[in-house]
């Protein structure tokens, strides 16, 4: 595969027209679980599907190039990707994770801590003193998620990664919310990048998958061995679909974030909306960091409706185009109510502490016409205030 420079070109063209058997322009899907030896004691580059598969490897190669890493391991879900990074930890190691990390990650970390696999400290990584106290305990791994879910808090990857490195910790960044089109954590000092490819990378809400990109070859090899041992690698068919989705990543997210910015401004100007959380707004507390470390502000936002749960119900029931559903990053606009959906398991008190109120709604902006989305949201805002 040639070494393309522009990331847009890598996404669109990596592996295209490389088929030697028939000249297929689109890389063929390889479903075979096993590969014939060329002769006795003559293995080919592929032997067995759990270990390696050309369709899966092409997707991994493309994502690794986009993230600027040594390689990627494609696994069955975003959670499997988080867990693969955690597999390197030993009893007594400390993990420092954001207090407002993805709900599944929060539960996985707690479950592994409870089984004695490692020690764990949740901190507000935007709070310098809290982060310093955690780093003083010499963690083995610092996990970062920026922007966070659902309040879109932004932290400085370069600053945290360099402080983590100074105490001997590896840094892993969950880059699911922005994708490599808008944020490249390895260039900012991260050792690992985690993706739920279910979201923007596939982008069509029809494949659950995950990826870990490692900056260093040695780390990559170790994770790859572990993924092979535990058998968590993703399916070739999923890899094929995800690569098809990834071809249009840049075109999708660039359009989606324009619409998201327009929606954020509409909501911010509306008296029925108490707060809008979108890093692209100058009023967002993380705006300056986002501007410096991101190539765009993304297509995720959340906002707080006046009138609490009653207004939320009226708003959601009035929507015609926007769909109430979990997940993000697809071509269709989805809305979620964190208090009753993604963050219901947290309990009311913990939600309150994290700033997740009953009036908060999260929007993943899709590719519908901006005017249609705005009309739908305006109708719902009027219904919410009735």
Ligand X SMILES: *Cc1c(COP(=O)(O)O)cnc(C)c1O
Cβ-proximal residues to 137 (8 Å cutoff; 6+ apart), any chain: 94, 96, 121
Burial class (CB in 10 A: 0-12, 13-18, 19+), 41: exposed
Catalytic residue among 56, 57, 83, 102: 102
Size of the site for ligand X (CB under 6 A): 16
Question: Residue 34 CB: number of other CB atoms within 10 A?
Answer: 10
Q: State which of positions 204-223 bind ligand X (CB under 6 A).
A: 208, 210
Distance CA 251, CA 8 (A): 9
Separation of CA 205 from chain center: 14
Nearer to ligand X by C-beta: 78 or 139? 78
103 touches ligand X by CB under 6 A: no
Catalytic residue among 100, 156, 174, 358: 174
106 touches ligand X by CB under 6 A: no
224 touches ligand X by CB under 6 A: no
DSSP bridge pairs for 364: 300, 334
Confirm whether 50 is a catalytic residue.
yes
Confirm whether 163 is a catalytic residue.
no
Which of 125, 176, 257, 293 is the binder for ligand X (CB under 6 A)? 176
CA dihedral 182→174→191→140, nearest 10 degrees, is 150
Which of 56, 117, 170, 199 is the binder for ligand X (CB under 6 A)? 199
State the nearest-atom distance from the C-beta of 293 to ligand X, in Å: 17
At 161 the three-state DSSP class reads helix
196 touches ligand X by CB under 6 A: yes
Which range touches ligand X (CB under 6 A), out of 13-21, 76-84, 312-320, 351-359?
76-84
Inter-residue contact 120 to 110 (CB < 8 Å): yes
Q: Which residues sit at the interface with ligand X, rule CB under 6 A?
A: 77-79, 102, 104-105, 145, 149, 174, 176-177, 196, 198-199, 208, 210
Active-site amino acid positions: 50, 102, 174, 199
């Amino acid at each position: 595969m040639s070494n393309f420079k522009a990331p847009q070109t890598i996404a669109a063209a990596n592996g295209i027209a490389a088929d030697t058997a028939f000249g297929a322009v689109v890389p063929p899907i390889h479903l075979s679980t096993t590969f014939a030896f060329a002769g006795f004691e003559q293995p080919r580059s592929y032997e067995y599907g759990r270990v390696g598969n050309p369709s899966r490897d092409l997707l991994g190669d493309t994502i690794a190039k986009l993230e600027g890493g040594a390689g990627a391991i494609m696994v069955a879900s975003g959670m499997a990707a988080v867990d693969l990074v955690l597999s390197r930890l030993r009893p007594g190691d400390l993990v420092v994770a954001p207090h407002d990390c993805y709900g599944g990650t929060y539960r996985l970390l707690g479950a592994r801590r409870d089984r004695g696999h490692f020690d764990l400290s949740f901190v507000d990584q935007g709070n310098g003193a809290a982060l310093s106290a955690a780093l003083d305990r010499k963690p083995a791994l610092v996990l970062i998620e920026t922007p966070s879910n659902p309040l879109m808090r932004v932290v400085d990857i370069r600053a945290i990664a360099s402080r983590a490195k100074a105490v001997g910790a590896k840094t892993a960044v969950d880059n699911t919310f922005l994708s490599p089109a808008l944020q490249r954590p390895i260039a900012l000092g991260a050792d690992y990048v985690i993706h739920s490819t279910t979201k923007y990378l596939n982008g069509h809400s029809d494949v659950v998958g995950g990826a870990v990109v490692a900056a260093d070859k040695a780390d990559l090899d170790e994770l790859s061995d572990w993924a092979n041992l535990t058998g968590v690698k993703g399916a070739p068919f999923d890899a094929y679909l995800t690569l098809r989705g990834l071809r249009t990543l840049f075109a999708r997210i660039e359009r989606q974030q324009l619409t998201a910015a327009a929606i954020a401004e509409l909501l911010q100007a509306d008296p029925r909306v108490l707060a809008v959380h979108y890093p692209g707004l100058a009023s967002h507390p993380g705006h300056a960091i986002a501007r410096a470390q991101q190539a765009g502000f993304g297509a995720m936002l959340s906002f707080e409706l006046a009138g609490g749960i009653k207004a939320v119900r009226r708003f959601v029931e009035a929507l015609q185009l926007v769909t109430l559903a979990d997940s993000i990053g697809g071509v269709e606009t989805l809305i979620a109510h964190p208090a009753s959906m993604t963050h219901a398991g947290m309990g009311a008190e913990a939600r309150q502490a994290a700033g997740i109120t009953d009036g908060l709604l999260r929007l993943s902006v899709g590719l519908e016409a901006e005017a249609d989305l705005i009309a739908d949201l305006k109708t719902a805002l009027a219904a919410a205030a009735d």
